[in-house]
Amino acid sequence: MERTTRYSKKREAILEAMRMTKSHPTAEWLYQQLKPEHPDLSLGTVYRNLTLFRQQGVIRSVGVVDGHERFDANTENHTHFVCTCCHSVIDIPDIAAGEQVEQQVCRQYGFRTDHHDLTVFGTCDQCIKKEVKQ
């Protein structure tokens, strides 16, 4: 039997916070942002709702960066850049492998693809500027 999810102000607040930020937040960050307005919010509630949102396809996991899972409300195929210095996760909308990667995987291996994630790792411009100043 499939469980239906009831409306919840906390759930709505978590999703709204996800949609309002481009920072690719962690569950802990969301919890800290929402706790003042929702004093009875628990970190477990944030994690459970992020899992639900991911299962519903409303958000995506970007992966683990510096030991913390990061999330993205933008579910369109797009590239991420992860700075190995400051651990920022940045959307790179202009550089996308697009459908070409999925089509090639289908043709070459006979798989059926749903989506793909492309992540580039390196040093962001802000960290490079800090290096130059030192």
pLDDT, one tens digit per residue, over 101-126 is 888 889 999 999 887 778 899 999 99
Residue 53 contacts residue 36 (beta carbons within 8 Å): no
- What confidence score (pLDDT) does residue 100 get? 78
Task: Share the mean pLDDT of the chain.
Answer: 90
**What domain count does the chain have?**
2
**69 and 105 fall within a common domain:** no
**69 and 107 fall within a common domain:** no
- What confidence score (pLDDT) does residue 105 get? 86
Of 27, 54, 74, the residue at which a domain comes to its end is: 74
Domain that holds residue 101: 76-134
- CATH number of the CATH domain containing 92: 3.30.1490.190
- What confidence score (pLDDT) does residue 46 get? 98
| DSSP sequence for the chain | -PPPPPP-HHHHHHHHHHHH-SS---HHHHHHHHTTT-TT--HHHHHHHHHHHHHHTSSEEEEEETTEEEEES--S--EEEEETTT--EEEETT---HHHHHHHHHHHH--------EEEEE--HHHHHHHHH-
The residue ranges of the chain whose pLDDT is under 70 are: 1-5, 95-99
**80 and 65 fall within a common domain:** no
**83 and 53 fall within a common domain:** no
**82 and 42 fall within a common domain:** no
Of 74, 107, 125, the residue at which a domain comes to its end is: 74
Of 120, 2, 124, 130, nearest in space to 62 by CA: 120
**14 and 60 fall within a common domain:** yes
Of 74, 94, 111, the residue at which a domain comes to its end is: 74
Residue type for 1, please? M
